[in-house]
Structure 1
Amino acid sequence: MTDEGWSPFELGRHLLLVRERSGVKQADLAKRVSLSPAVLSRIESGDRPVTLEEVQDILTQLATPEAEDLAKALRRSWRVLPRPPLDHADQDLLWEAEQVARELVVLRDQPDTPHAFERRLSEYVDELERGAAMLLKREHQVAFIGSIGVGKSTAICKMTGLEVPKEDGTLTPVLEVGGGGITVCEVHLRTGPGFGLIVEPKSDDELRQDVQDLADSILRAAPSPDDDGPGGQESQGISKEVARALRNMAGLPIQRPKGADGKRITVDPAKQLAAEFATQREFVVEVLSRMDLHRRDKRDVWYDSATGKSPKAWLRDMFSAINNGRSPDFTLPRRIEVVIPDKLLQAADLTVRFIDTKGIDRTAAREDIEIHFDDPHTLAILCSQFNNAPAAETRLLLERAKDAGIRTLDVNSALLVLPRPAEALAMKDDATSISVESVQEGYELKGEQIALALEPLGLQTLGIAFYNANEDPAANAQRFLLERLNCARASFRTRINDAMTGARALLQNHGEERIHAVLRDAGETLRTWASMNAAVPTVQAHVQESLLAQIQVAYASTVRAAVRREGEWQQLSYSHHIGYGARRLAVIALENAAHDFAGHCKILAATPRYVEAADLLTQAERVLTASYEELLRKVQLMGQTVFKDALKADPMLWQKCMDEWGQGPGYKSRVAAHNKGWFDNEARKRLEDELKALIAKEWTRALSNVTALLEPNP
C-alpha cells in the first residue's frame, strides 16, 4: 500500500468506518479473513501497516457498495493530479479528470507534437490542475460583514447554538453582544477537540500605538477643533471597545458611583492620572507599565470541568474577560479563535470556519473586509438591517468589488438581512399600500426591493436570505449558508467538467486536416483581434484616488491614527487603497477589452462555419480570462508593495501630516493635500508609470497566452 502513500491511520480509519456501516462485528470479520481480532484492531486503529492483498480481502468479505467504492479508490494510481483523500466526495470526478490529464500529457510529451498543439494540451492540463486544487481544498470560510450594531454576533451565536441560559431562563449569546462596538477584534469560530479560546496577540509596537491613541482621547478635555463632523463631534481615533480593554488592562476603567443625591457621577481615573504627568510620552509609559505586559504571555485556554461551570457558560465568561482586557494572563488580541467541539454547519465533507469581522464604523473600504471578496473558498455574507437593506455599506463594498474586476460575486457573496420583530409585518405593497399578511410575504416583498436596488450593479440575482434571530428557526439560516457553499463547490466542478469537455474534443479531433483548416481560420480572426487590441488605452485615473477619497470619508481621528502608523492601520490602510487603486487602473484600461474578447469568441463559436473550432474558441476565452485575473492580482500586489516601501522611506510626509493635528478645522483636507502633493511628485509619478508599464507587459503576456494556442498559417 506504499505506492500511493496511504498512511496506516487514514486507511485504518476508513476500514473501520466501512466495517461499522456494514454491521459486521470486528471479531466476525477477523474470522473471515484469517486475522486475529487483535491484529484487525491494530489495522483499524492505524497501528499496523496493511498490505493491498489484506485490504482487498477485508473489503471483499464486507461486500457492501461502500466497500467496493473503497476498493476501487485504492486500486487507482494518480500520476498527474494530486491523490484525493479517501473520504473526498468528488473522488470519481477527480479520477475522470486524472484520466483525461494523462492522455493530454502523453500526447504533449511526444517529440513531434507541434508547438501550438502542445500549448493547447498544456493549458488543459494546467486548467485541470487548477480546478482539482480548488475542489481538493475542503476548508471554507464564511465571513460575516456589516455595520456595528447590525446584529452579526447575535445571529452567528443563534444559528450555531452558542447560547447559555440567563437567570430568567432566556438564552444569551456566548459571544459578547450589545448595541455595537463590543468585540475588540476579529473573531473566528471553528470546530476543534473541545471548548477553548486561542488568542493571536497584538505586538508590543501595535499596543504602544493603541495606548498613544488612548492618550490622545484622554488628554483632549474637549472635542478637538480638528474634528470635521457636526459640532466637532467625531470618534474612531481609537474604538470604544479597544479603549475599554486598554483601560481595564491598566486598571483605569471609568467609574460611575452614586453621589450624595443618589445620582450617578462619572469618575475617570485615567484623566486623574494624566494630570500627574507633564507630557503625553510620560503618561503613555505609565499606562504601559501598569499593564504588566511581561505577565500577559498566555495564548490559549481550554475548558476544565473543575471550574464548576458548563462549557458554554465558561466560554462566555472567558471570552468576555479576554475581549475586555480583564484577564491578567492575556494581552490585547489581534484575533480571537473560539473553538467548539460541534460542527458549525452540517456539511459532511467540509471544514467550515465562521469569521465575525469587526463592525463597520463609517469606513467600509477596509483591507480586512475586502480581502474576502477575491477568495474562492470564502463566502462573504453582507449583513444588513431590514429597513435599510441593502445597506449603504453593502452597496459600496459590492460596487468596489465590481470596480476591482471581481467576477464571482454571485457565487462567493450573499446578503443576509437581519430583521427585528414586527419589521417584516410592517411592509406594505408599494402599488396598493396594503400591508402584508405574513412574515414570509414581508420577506418576499423586501427581497424584490433589494433585487431592484442591486440591479444597477448587475447583481439582482445575488443570494438573499432573511434571519430574525429572535423568531426564525436557526435551520433556515444554516440551510442558506450551506446552499451558498454548495454553489461555490458546484462552480469548482463546472470548471473541471468544462476543461474535460474541451480536452476531449481536442483529443478526438486533433488528427483531422479538415478541422485543422477550420482551426487555422478561426485562429486568424483571434490573431487579428489580439493585434487590434494589443495597445493598452491611456487611463486618466490615478492609484491614489481611492485613498484620498477615503481620507475625506473617515473620521479625523482615524486619519491621525493611520498617519501615526505611517499609513498602516486596520481602519485606514494606505497600501490597501493604493493596491486597490492600481487594480482599478487595470480594470478601467482592460475590462472592456477582456469582455469584448469573450463576446467575440462566443459569437464565433455560434457561427456554423466555426462550429468545429468551438473548443478552441472556448479555451481561448478561458485562457484570456484567467490571464486577465492574474494580471489584476499582480498589479494590485505591485501597487501595494512599491508604494508602501516608498511611503515608509519618506518620514517627512508623515511629520508634515502629524503637524497638522491641532491646527483647527479642515485637518483631513490638509492631510489629503499633503498626500496628493506626495503622489504628484515626479518620483511617485515614475512609480505609477512603472505600474502602467507592468499592466502593458502583463496584457501582452495575456494575449500571447492566447495566440500561442493558435495553429500557424500555412
Structure 2
Amino acid sequence: MATEEVWSPVELGRHLMQVRERSGIKQAELAKRVALSPTVLSRIESGDRPVTLEEVGDILAQLATPEASDLAKALGRSWRVLPRPPLDHPDQDLLWKAEQVARELVTLRDQPDTPHAFERRLSEYIDELGRGAAMLLKREHQVAFIGSIGVGKSTAICKMTGLEVPKEDGAMTPVLEVGGGGITVCEVHLRTGPQFGLIVEPKGDDELRQDVLDLADSILKGAQSPDEDGPSGQESQGISKEVARALRNMAGLAVQRPKGLDGKRTTVDPAKQLAQQFPTQREFVVEVLSRMDLHRRDKRDVWYDSASGKSPKAWLRDTFAAINNGRSPEFTLPRRIEVVVPEKLLQVADLTVRFIDTKGIDRNAAREDIECHFDDSHTLAVLCSPFNNAPAAETRLLLERAKDAGIRTMDVNAALLVLPRPMEALAMKDDATSAPVESAQEGYELKGEQIALALEPLGLQTLGVAFYNANEDPAASAQEFLLERLTRARASFRARINDATAGAWALLSNHGEERIHAVLRDAGESLHTWATLNATVPPVHAHVQESLMAQIQVAYASTVRAAVRREGEWPQLSYSHHIGYGARRLAVMALEKAVDEFAGHCKILAATPRYAEAADLLTQAERVLTSSYEELLRKVQLMGQTVFKDALKADPLFWQACMDEWGQGPGYKSRVAAHNRQWFGNEARRKLEEDLQALVAREWTRVLANVTALLEPNA
C-alpha cells in the first residue's frame, strides 16, 4: 500500500465507515473481529485517530465486500505523475491506467538517448494525460440558465429543484422572487451546503455610487428624456428597474400609492420630492447615499434560525426578497446572491452541481457575464427560450457568437430549454395536415423539428433540446435532461483520457521498429509540407471594434451612457469584453479554415492504408494543433481585452467627449459611435491592432512548431 502520510485520517476514516455501513456490519461487531475496542474504531472512522496500513488491511479483509476490495486496491496505489484522486472518485481505475502509461512515458522521455521528436511526442502525451485527468478530477459543475427578462428562468429553477413553499391558498410559489421579469437585482447562485442560508457578495462603494448616479439621472431628467433614441422616447431607463427599486428602498424613497378619500389610488414619489429639495445631481446623490446608512450595511451572510417561527424555505423566500429588494437594513446592494440549501439540487451522484440564475437579457444578449459560460468545460449553458418563437433571437445570437469565437464544444456544453406556458404546446398544428396536435408531447415534437431546422445554418441541429412547462410537467423530466447533459460532459472527459492513453500505449509499443519509423517519416513529411504551405496568417478585412460598435447601435441610449460614465466597464455593455471578443473573432476568421483543413488532412492520411501505422501520430498531431489553436484564441482574447482597456482608461478626453453628447438632443448613440470610430481609427489604436495581428502570427508559428516538433526528420 501507499505510504501512510498520503491519506488524511478524516478522508480514510470516512470511507472506512461508509464501506462498513454498506456491508451491513455493526461497528461493535467489526471491532471484535479486528481486535480493536469500539472506542478506537469509532475514533478511526471519525478521523480523530490515525490508522496504520496494517489496521486498514485487517478492517477491509474482515468486511470482505467488493467495495472493500476496491478501497484496498485504491490504497495500494502510489501516484507519481498524475494527481491522486480522492478515494471516492468513480473513475479511479481509468485514472490509474492513465497513471501507468504516464509513468512509462516519463521513464522513456528521461532517457538521455531519446530522439528529440520522440521526446516531444512523449511529452505531449504526458501533458495531454495531465489535462484530461484535471478535467475528470474536478467534479464541481455549473448549470447556467440564460434567457430574456420574463422568460421564466427563476420559476423553472425552483420548480425543478423543489425550492417552493405553499401560499395561503395552498398553491406552491418559488423561493426565488419571481414576477413579470426584471425582479432579481443580480446574478443568483444556488448550491448545496450544510444548512439554509444566504451569502451576499456586495457591490463596491464606487459601483454603488455609479448606480446612484444613474438613479439620479432617471429622477432628475425623467424616464422619457429627449436624449433617448427610441420611438417617442419609450426606451428603458439607464438604470434597470430592479436596481432602481432596491436603491429606492435602501434610501427610504420607495414610490407610494395610497388611497384617497374617493377610494382611488394616487402615486407619490418621494424621490421626485427629494429632487426638488436637491436639484443638482451632486446634491441629490450625496443625499441619497447618506440616507442609505451604508456603514451599517456590513453583513455578508445570514443563516436559518428556527426561532424565526417560519419553515426553512419560507424563511429563505422572505429573506431573499428582503435582500433582493434592498429592504434589509443589514445588507448593501448585492453583486451576487448565493442561496445555500441542505439538499441536492440535482439528483446526480459523485458531482457537486451549482445552479446559476443569470440576470435576464434586456436587448443586450452579448454580455460578458453570459458569454463566459460557453468556454468553460465544467459549465452547462442552458439557453432558455419561450415556446412560440423558440429558438429565441437571443439564443440564436449567443450561439452564433460562440461559433464565431471558435468555441467547438457547444454540442456538450450548451443546451436549449424551451419553457412553454399552459396551452401553448396544444396550439401547435401539423404543417402537412393543419390538424391540431393531440397532446402536449406531440406539440413538443413538432416544435423540436422546427428548432432543428432553425439551428441547421449554425451546424447545431443536434443541439440538446428539452421542453419544460413548470406548471404542468414533472420536475423529473427537467432533472433527467440536465443529468443527461452533465453525463455527456463527463463522458467527453473520459473519452479524452481514453484516446490519449490508447495513443500513448501504441507509441510505446511500436517505437522500436524501423519499418514504422519509415512510415512515420513519410507521414511527417506530408504534415511538414502542409505546415510550410500554411505558415502565413492570411489577412482579414475586419477590426476588433466591430462587435462593440454593433452593440452600441443595439443598446438603449441610456445603457450606452451608463457604460461611458464607467469608462466602458459595465455589465450591460463592457468595452473590454467586446474588444476581446472582436480580437478572438479576427483570429478565428484568419485561422479556423486552416485548422479544419489540417484535421481533414490528418484524417485522410490516417485512412490511407500505407499510413495505417502512423495513425496514432496523425491523431496526436491533430489534437496538438487543435488544443494549441484554442490556447491561441484565449491568449488573443486576453490581449485584446487588456491592451485596449488600458488604452481606453488612459484617455479621459475620449470619455469626456462621449459624456458631453448627453443632453444634445436625439441621436446620442450615433454621436457616441462617431467618437468611437474616430478613437479606433487613430494611428495609435491602429498600431495596437497591428500588434494584435503580430501576436496572432507569432502564436500561429508556435502552434505549427508544436506540431512539427512531433515529426521525425527525414534522414
Q: How does the TM-score come out when normalised to structure 1? A: 0.99
Aligned to 2:578: 577
Q: How does 1:164-175 map to 2 (within 5 A)?
A: 164-175=165-176
CA-to-aligned-CA distance 1:494-552 (integer Å, 9 cap, x gap) = 00001011111111110000000000000000000000000000111000000010000
State the distance in 2 between where 1:36 and 1:648 align. 69
User: Match of 2:666?
Assistant: 665
SS of 2:173's partner is: strand
For 1:688 and 1:18, locate their aligned partners in 2 and report how far apart those are by CA, in whole Å: 60
Please tell me whether the aligned partners of residues 220 and 279 of structure 2 are also in contact (alpha carbons under 8 angstroms): no
- The equivalent of 1:315 in structure 2 is 316
Matches of residues 104-123 of structure 1 in structure 2 within 5 Å?
Answer: 104-123=105-124
* Other structure's SS at 1:535 match: coil
Q: Is the 8 A contact 1:226 1:665 kept in 2?
A: yes
For residues 305 and 3 of structure 2, the distance between their equivalents in structure 1, rounded to whole angstroms, comes to: 41
Q: How does 1:452-531 map to 2 (within 5 A)?
A: 452-531=453-532
The equivalent of 1:18 in structure 2 is 19
Whether the 8 Å contact between 1:207 and 1:332 is mirrored in structure 2 is yes
Native 8 Å contact 1:235 1:557 kept in 2: yes
The ranges of structure 1 where at least 4 consecutive aligned residues each deviate by more than 3 angstroms after the TM superposition are 1-4
CA offset digits 1:77-118 (Å, max 9, x no partner):
000000000000000000010001111111111110000000
1:54-69 alignment to 2 at 5 Å? 54-69=55-70
Q: How does 1:218-617 map to 2 (within 5 A)?
A: 218-221=219-222, 223-617=224-618
Matches of 1:330 and 1:472, distance apart in 2: 37
Secondary structure, aligned partner of 1:585? helix
- Alignment: residue pair count: 714
* Contact residue 418 and residue 467 of structure 1 kept, 8 A: yes
Alpha-carbon offset, residue 2 of structure 1? 4.3
- Contact 2:412–2:488 at 8 Å: present in 1 too? yes
1:149 partnered with 2:143: no
Measured in 2, the distance between the counterparts of 1:430 and 1:662 equals: 52
* Corresponding residue of 2:99: 98
Tell whether 2:680 aligns with 1:710.
no
Match of 1:188 in 2: 189
- 1:261 shift after superposition: 2.8
Aligned equivalents of 2:137 and 2:625: distance in 1? 24
What amino acid maps onto 1:111 in structure 2? P
**What amino acid is aligned across from residue 290 of structure 2 in structure 1?**
S
CA deviations 1:280-328 (Å, max 9, x no partner) are 1000000000000000000000000000000000000000000000000
Q: 1:649 maps to which residue?
A: 650
- Once the two structures are superposed, residues 602-661 of structure 1 have per-residue CA deviations (whole angstroms, 9 ceiling, x without a partner) of 000001111110000000000000000000000000000000000000000100000000
CA shift digits 1:569-589 (9 cap, x unpaired): 000000000000000000000
User: Where does the alignment leave 5 or more consecutive residues of structure 2 unmatched?
Assistant: none
Residue identity opposite 1:453 in structure 2: A
Distance 1:163 1:500 in 2: 46
The offset of 1:236, in angstroms, is: 4.3
Q: CA deviation at 1:228?
A: 1.1
Answer whether contact 1:384 1:391 (CA < 8 A) is retained: yes
SS of 2:189's partner is: strand
- State the shift of 1:671 in Å: 0.4
The amino acid across from 2:657 in the alignment is K
**Pair 4,691 (structure 1): closer, same or farther in 2 beyond 3 Å:** farther
SS at match of 2:359: coil
Q: For 2:196 and 2:223, how far apart are their aligned partners in 1?
A: 45
Would you say 1:682 and 2:683 are equivalent positions?
yes
Give the superposition deviation at 1:432: 1.1
Instruction: Work out whether residues 444 and 467 of structure 2, in 8 Å CA contact, stay in contact via their aligned partners in 1.
Output: yes
SS in 2 for 1:312: helix
- Report the TM-score, using the length of structure 2 for normalisation: 0.99
Q: Distance in 2 between matches of 1:399 and 1:222?
A: 33
The whole-number CA distance in structure 2 between the counterparts of 1:429 and 1:397 is: 29
CA distance in 1 between partners of 2:221 and 2:259 (Å): 25
Contact kept, 8 Å, 1:145 with 1:357, in 2: the verdict is: yes
CA distance in 1, matches of 2:261, 2:54: 88
Aligned partners of 2:519 and 2:611 also within 8 Å: yes
AA aligned to 1:69 is D
Equivalent pair of 1:4/1:78 in contact (CA under 8 Å): no
Aligned equivalent of 1:618: 619
- What letter is aligned with 2:360? G
1:167-214 Cα distance to aligned partner (Å, 9 max, x none): 000000000000000000000000000000000000000000000000
In the other structure, the counterpart of 1:9 is 10
1:67 maps to a residue whose letter is A
Match for residue 634 of structure 1? 635
Q: Is the 8 A contact 1:4 1:77 kept in 2?
A: no
RMSD: 0.7
Aligned with 1:275: secondary structure? helix
Paired AA for residue 57 in structure 2: Q
Secondary structure of 1:24's aligned partner: coil
**Paired-residue identity, %:** 87
Residues in 2 aligned to 1:41 and 1:166: alpha-carbon distance in whole angstroms: 45
Q: Any idea what SS the aligned residue of 1:18 has? A: helix
**Which amino acid in the other structure matches residue 436 of structure 1?**
V
148-157 or 1-10: bigger deviation:
1-10
Q: Secondary structure at the match of 1:112?
A: coil
C-alpha distance in structure 2 between counterparts of 1:338 and 1:236, whole Å: 29
